[in-house]
Amino acid sequence: MASGEEEGGVDEKETNNKKRTKGAIATAWLTVYNIAMTAGWLVLAVAMLRYYLQKGSHKGLYRNIAKTLKFFQTFALLEVGHCAIGIVRTSVIVTGVQVCSRIFMVWFITNSIRQVQNEESVILFVVVWTVTEITRYSFYTFNLLNHLPYFIKWARYNMFIVMYPLGVVGELLTIHAALPYVRRSGMYSLRLPNKYNVSFDYYYFLIIVMLSYIPLFPQLYFHMLRQRRRVLHGEIIVEKDE
Ligand SMILES: CCCCCCCCCCCCC/C=C/C(=O)SCCNC(=O)CCNC(=O)[C@H](O)C(C)(C)COP(=O)(O)OP(=O)(O)OC[C@H]1O[C@@H](n2cnc3c(N)ncnc32)[C@H](O)[C@@H]1OP(=O)(O)O
C-alpha cells in the first residue's frame, strides 16, 4: 500500500506538516506531564519512607501523605482526556476504569472514612500504586525523549504481573474494612421517605463496587498482558475496543 508521503500531493504535505506540529505540541505537553507525575509520585515515596523510618509504624502515614496522594491521583484524570483527544494510543474505557477506580478509592473510601486510614491494606495499595506510577511515568518520559533504558521498559511490562493483583487485594480489603462504618453511619445514603422519592444505600453500593472487580479487573490485566507481548516480544495485537 502506498503511503501519503509517497504520493506526495501538496494537500497531503500540508496535512503531514499539521500532524507534525500537533505532534510536537502534544509531545511537549506529555513530556512535561510525565515528568511532573514522576516527580509527584517520587515525592510520595520519599515522604512515606521518611515517615516510616522516623515513626517506625504505618499508623498516621496515610494522613501524612493524603494531600499529595489526592492531588496527583486526581490530576491523573487528564489521562482520560489524553486518550479522548487522541494524543496517546490507549483506550478511553481502559484508562477511564483504571483512573476512576483509583479516584474512587482515594476520595470516597480513604478520604471519607477516617477509621480505615490506618489499615495495613491502605498502605499496601498506596505503596503498590507508588512503585507502579514511578515506573510507568518514567517509562513514558524516557520513551518520549527516545532514551529508554531497557530496565525501565522491562519493569513497566513485568512488575504489573505481581503489582496489579497486590493493588487489587489492598483496595478490596480496604473497602471491606470500610463496610461496618458505612453501615453504622449511613453515610452518602438516602433513605425513604424523602422529597425526591429516591433511596440509595452506600453500603450496598460498595458491595456492588467490590463485585465489579470480578469482571473488570481481568480485562485490565489481560490488556496489560497484551501490551507486554506487543512491546517486549513484538507481537502485533488488534484491540477490539479501539
Ligand atoms: C464509581 C466507582 C467505580 C469503581 C469500579 C471498580 C472496578 C475496578 C476494577 C479494577 C480495579 C483496578 C485497580 C487498580 C489497581 C492498581 O493500579 S494496582 C497497581 C498496579 N497497576 C498497574 O500496573 C497499572 C497498569 N495500568 C496501566 O498501566 C494503565 O493505567 C492502563 C490504562 C491500564 C494501561 O496502559 P496503556 O496506556 O494502555 O498501556 P501502555 O503500554 O502504557 O501505553 C500504550 C500507548 O500509549 C502511550 N501512552 C500512554 N500514556 C502515556 C503518557 N502519559 N505519555 C506518553 N505516552 C503515553 C504509550 O507510550 C503507548 O504508546 P505506543 O508504544 O506508541 O503504543
DSSP designation for 77: T
* Across 16-25, 43-52, 138-147, 210-219, least confident range: 16-25
Quote the ligand 1 centre to 133 CA distance (angstroms): 10
Point out which residues pair with 190 in neighbouring strands.
200
* ipTM here: 0.94
Angle (CA) 42-218-225 rounded to 5° is: 65
pLDDT of 80 above 90? yes
- The rounded mean pLDDT for the chain is 91
CB 230 within 8 A of CB 236: yes
Mean pLDDT of the 90-100 span: 94
Residue 49 has pLDDT above 90, yes or no: yes
Rounded to 10°, the helix 92-103/202-233 angle is 130
Cβ count near 94 (within 10 Å)? 19
Q: Is 171 a catalytic residue?
A: yes
Average pLDDT over residues 36-60: 97
Question: 3-state class of 187 per DSSP?
Answer: coil
Catalytic residue among 12, 52, 164, 221: 164
pLDDT, average across residues 72-94: 95
Whether ligand 1 lies within 6 angstroms of the CB of 174 is answered as: no
Query: For 151-208, what is each residue's pLDDT tens digit?
Result: 999 999 999 999 999 999 999 999 999 999 999 999 999 999 998 899 999 999 999 9
Query: For ligand 1, is residue 99 a contact (CB within 6 Å)?
Result: no
pTM for the predicted model, two decimal places: 0.90
Parse the chain into domains and list their residue ranges: 23-233
- Is it the case that residue 9 has pLDDT exceeding 70? no
Nearest CA to ligand 1 atom 11: 217
Q: What is the pLDDT of residues 108-122, one digit of tens each?
A: 999 999 999 999 999
Q: Is 181 exposed, middle or buried (0-12, 13-18, 19+ CB in 10 A)?
A: middle
Q: What size, in residues, is the chain?
A: 242
Grid cell, residue 60, equals 498516621
Q: Is 169 in the pocket of ligand 1 (CB under 6 A)?
A: no
The band of 238, judged by pLDDT with boundaries at 50, 70 and 90, is: low
Residue showing cell 520519599:
46
User: Nearest-CA neighbor of 161 among 92, 227, 206?
Assistant: 227
Residue 97 clears pLDDT 90, i.e. is over it: yes
